[in-house]
Structure 1
């Protein structure tokens, strides 16, 4: 692919990236070829999935352009290397195999450690850890529970939405869920989990300077722009600087407790694995291990 063709290619990609930035996961592109060098191909879907949701068209295009150029350069260097030194022979194969084995070992140990230790750490243990060391879970951000709806400004039944979104009653929630299926651009129910206030406010055309005061004085917030109406109901909140609620801190607690026990667990696991293999005869020694151990003494 020549430099002459790159701007045209990127221009076509820009539209794809802009659509992705605007519609997020709602847009699914076909995995068609974007760049090809001999047998090596780069698809549009590979590039667009690298674009962070919410990126501007300009940022999306810059990210795409940089990635495409890097991909092309990497392939060209690989082809030059392959021409000059071949496939690397036995040394490359050995290094590749060692790396594959190391990745597989690490992947297995990570999964095994997490699964085994998670099962060993009881809910009572986690709650005790939280009570004894709660100061380590001081929030750096504001958390809320609630409901958020973004509806086109010309959507029907907005007066009903204004009544429903303020209530946590089952019938109101069911009504707004049914309504959102066919009318809402965004519907998020999070009465049962904590969300970062900043993350929610980014979805609304609203500027908040004193967020703690905002939370103390607002429960049902409605705002509009030229295209959408935005509805946010806040059922509960915790301000930055407070101790995080247990259910929010729980994943961090579990991960911390796993890491604290990980070293001893792995040491015991490896030692037991070694002893069992030797005892069962799965390992064949071509030297006298007892004599060798005596020499070390």
Structure 2
């Protein structure tokens, strides 16, 4: 380990102390296992750029250690596996083919496939598959405020956060940006009740009828007062509102379009192959 540490320090010094390294230096061995050699050049290519000297040293020592262990394992495998077990040509051929096909598909996807999903597409899918979007938790739209106990104008704050008037909402936001420890206006998006409850010392009551009969919830600890205004809600086991699942639907539709694109590509290439007579059946 001392030798590896010294070697690592020396290598990092060589790699970071000058911009130009001679061919003799880069071909110098770093470690050897039964005739298999790791050179400075191979190590230099493996080290990520923009690492500090300390990080480079840590990476170097780890890389050398892993290289030695993997080379020892490979040596044992070569000695102990039968010729049939060591014949991996077909596996490598299949793996290479899979990699090349995947790279070509990704290249065409970037060049020709549009990832655009319209709101109408999301809405149509939601309407057709709504039974797949059943809520497993309560969700709400509203306002959350965490405010110091000694904050000014708390009575006005309570009036503003309970009001539906646009001018009161403006006053609320101005006040909270100046005084609140945490302020979240989520009137235009759906948030799980648990997400809001986790921000408070006492969670929102887990009562089936609480959201139905309560529009506000307040609690306190030794330093702060917490307020939640519920403007709308959906209960567990109801169909989720479309805004709550739109990102999930978009991901589903993007994947469907991607699969359809690849299937169409395969069919086009098949028809092209038949036309060009590069396909033969025996």
The change in CA–CA distance for 1:268 and 1:176 in structure 2 (over 3 A counts) is same
Do residues 256 (structure 1) and 252 (structure 2) align? yes
Q: How many residues in Structure 1 have an aligned counterpart in Structure 2? A: 212
**Is the 2:113–2:261 contact (alpha carbons within 8 Å) kept by the matching residues of 1?**
no
The change in CA–CA distance for 1:34 and 1:245 in structure 2 (over 3 A counts) is farther
The gaps in structure 1 that reach 5 residues or longer are: 1-31, 41-74, 86-96, 280-288
Give SS of 2:162's match: coil
Do residues 186 (structure 1) and 172 (structure 2) align? no
Question: CA offset at residue 142 of structure 1?
Answer: 0.5
Q: Give me the TM-score of the superposition, normalised by structure 1.
A: 0.57
The change in CA–CA distance for 1:209 and 1:118 in structure 2 (over 3 A counts) is same
Q: CA RMSD in A?
A: 4.2
Q: Which has the greater radius of gyration?
A: 2
Question: CA offset at residue 239 of structure 1?
Answer: 0.5
Do residues 239 (structure 1) and 235 (structure 2) align? yes
**Is the 1:148–1:231 contact (alpha carbons within 8 Å) kept by the matching residues of 2?**
yes
User: C-alpha distance in 2, partners of 1:188/1:103?
Assistant: 43
The gaps in structure 2 that reach 5 residues or longer are: 1-50, 72-95
**Is the 1:113–1:262 contact (alpha carbons within 8 Å) kept by the matching residues of 2?**
no
User: C-alpha distance in 2, partners of 1:165/1:221?
Assistant: 11
User: C-alpha distance in 1, partners of 2:255/2:235?
Assistant: 28
Question: CA offset at residue 223 of structure 1?
Answer: 1.4
Alignment partner, residue 65 of structure 2: 80
Residue by residue over 1:210-253, the C-alpha shift from the partner in whole angstroms, topping out at 9 and shown as x without a partner, is: 34322122212221110111111010000001111223233333
User: C-alpha distance in 2, partners of 1:106/1:186?
Assistant: 46
User: C-alpha distance in 1, partners of 2:100/2:164?
Assistant: 52
Residue by residue over 1:88-137, the C-alpha shift from the partner in whole angstroms, topping out at 9 and shown as x without a partner, is: xxxxxxxxx99997886676677679844625xx60x4433333332211
User: C-alpha distance in 1, partners of 2:113/2:153?
Assistant: 49
Alignment partner, residue 38 of structure 2: none
User: C-alpha distance in 2, partners of 1:34/1:145?
Assistant: 51
Question: CA offset at residue 256 of structure 1?
Answer: 2.9
Do residues 293 (structure 1) and 268 (structure 2) align? no
Residue by residue over 1:171-196, the C-alpha shift from the partner in whole angstroms, topping out at 9 and shown as x without a partner, is: 11111211122211111011111111
User: C-alpha distance in 2, partners of 1:248/1:266?
Assistant: 30
